[in-house]
Amino acid sequence: MQNNSILSVKDLNQIVKDLLSDAIGQIWLVGEISNFSRPTSGHWYFTLKDDIAQVRCAMFRNNNYRTGFTPQNGQQVLVNASVTLYEARGEYQLVINQLQLAGAGLLQQKFEQLKQKLSEEGLFDPIYKKELPDNIRTVGIITSSTGAALYDICQILNRRDPSLNLIIYPTSVQGNEAPAQIAKMIQIANVRQECDVLIVGRGGGALEDLWAFNEEVVARAIFASQLPIVSAVGHEVDFTIADFVADVRAATPSAAAELVSRDKLEQLKSLQVQEQYLCMAIDYYLMRRRELLNKPYQRLQSQHPQTKLSKQLNRLLTSRHALFENIQQYLSRQSYLHNLLDKRLLRVSPQHNVIYCGQNLEKRQLQLINLMQKRLTDAKHQFILKASQLNSVSPLATLDRGYSVTIDQQQKVIRTLDQVSIGDFILTQLKTGKLISQIVQIDKKTN
In degrees, to the nearest 5, what angle opens at C-alpha 300 toward C-alphas 297 and 306? 120
The answer to whether 46 and 31 are in contact (CB under 8 A) is no
Confidence at residue 171, expressed as pLDDT on a 0 to 100 scale: 93
Q: How far apart are CA 228 and CA 140, in angstroms?
A: 10
Q: How far apart are CA 398 and CA 391, in angstroms?
A: 9
Residues in CB range of 444: below 8 A, 6 or more apart? 417
The answer to whether 179 and 219 are in contact (CB under 8 A) is no
Q: In 3D, which of 67, 73, 79 has the Cα closest to residue 108?
A: 79
Domain segments of the chain as ranges: 9-102, 111-128+136-262, 269-302, 398-438
The answer to whether 161 and 264 are in contact (CB under 8 A) is yes
**Residue 437's pLDDT band (cuts 50, 70, 90):** confident
Q: In 3D, which of 252, 235, 257, 233 has the Cα closest to residue 244?
A: 233
The answer to whether 178 and 184 are in contact (CB under 8 A) is no
The answer to whether 200 and 222 are in contact (CB under 8 A) is yes
What is the average pLDDT value for the chain, to the nearest integer?
Answer: 84
The residue length of the chain stands at 447
Q: Does the pLDDT at position 302 exceed 70?
A: no
At the topology level of CATH, where does 111-128+136-262 sit? Rossmann fold (3.40.50)
Q: How far apart are CA 135 and CA 323, in angstroms?
A: 71
Q: Does the pLDDT at position 210 exceed 80?
A: yes
Pairing of strands 229-233, 197-202: parallel
The answer to whether 114 and 120 are in contact (CB under 8 A) is no
Alpha helix positions (H), 133-252: 148-160, 178-192, 216-224, 241-245
Q: How far apart are CA 317 and CA 325, in angstroms?
A: 12
The edge-to-edge listing of strands for the beta sheet with 425-429 is 405-407, 425-429, 434-438
Q: Where are the beta strands (DSSP E) in 171-224?
A: 197-202
In degrees, to the nearest 5, what angle opens at C-alpha 338 toward C-alphas 336 and 340? 70
Pairing of strands 248-249, 229-233: parallel
* CB-based burial label for 78 (10 Å; 0-12, 13-18, 19+): buried
The CATH class, in words, for 9-102 is mainly beta
Q: In 3D, which of 24, 161, 160, 8 has the Cα closest to residue 82?
A: 24
Handedness of CA 281, 282, 286, 289 (dihedral sign): positive
Residues in CB range of 189: below 8 A, 6 or more apart? 140, 142, 167, 169, 195, 198, 225, 227
Q: Does the pLDDT at position 447 exceed 60?
A: no
The answer to whether 221 and 187 are in contact (CB under 8 A) is yes
Confidence at residue 2, expressed as pLDDT on a 0 to 100 scale: 52
Task: Give the mean model confidence (pLDDT) for residues 168-192.
Answer: 92
Handedness of CA 92, 95, 99, 103 (dihedral sign): negative
What is the tens place of the pLDDT at every residue in 33-90? 899 999 988 899 999 998 889 989 999 988 888 887 788 888 888 888 888 887 778 7
Q: Exposed e or buried b for every residue in 318-332, given b needs 16+ CB within 10 A?
A: eeeeeeeeeeeeeee
**Residue 142's pLDDT band (cuts 50, 70, 90):** very high
Q: How far apart are CA 247 and CA 219, in angstroms?
A: 12
Q: How far apart are CA 15 and CA 38, in angstroms?
A: 30
Confidence at residue 224, expressed as pLDDT on a 0 to 100 scale: 93
What is the C-alpha end-to-end distance of the chain, expressed in Å?
192
Q: How many helices (H) and strands (E) does the chain have?
A: 12, 13
In degrees, to the nearest 5, what angle opens at C-alpha 47 toward C-alphas 41 and 52? 175
**Residue 112's pLDDT band (cuts 50, 70, 90):** confident
Most confident of 158-167, 288-297, 405-414: 158-167
Q: Provide the 8-state DSSP code for 213.
A: G
Q: Does the pLDDT at position 436 exceed 60?
A: yes
C-alpha distances in Å from residue 298, one per residue of 2, 283, 293, 294, 295: 113, 21, 9, 6, 5
Distance between alpha carbon 427 and the CA centroid of its chain, in Å? 124
Confidence at residue 395, expressed as pLDDT on a 0 to 100 scale: 66
Strand partners, 19: none
**Residue 267's pLDDT band (cuts 50, 70, 90):** low
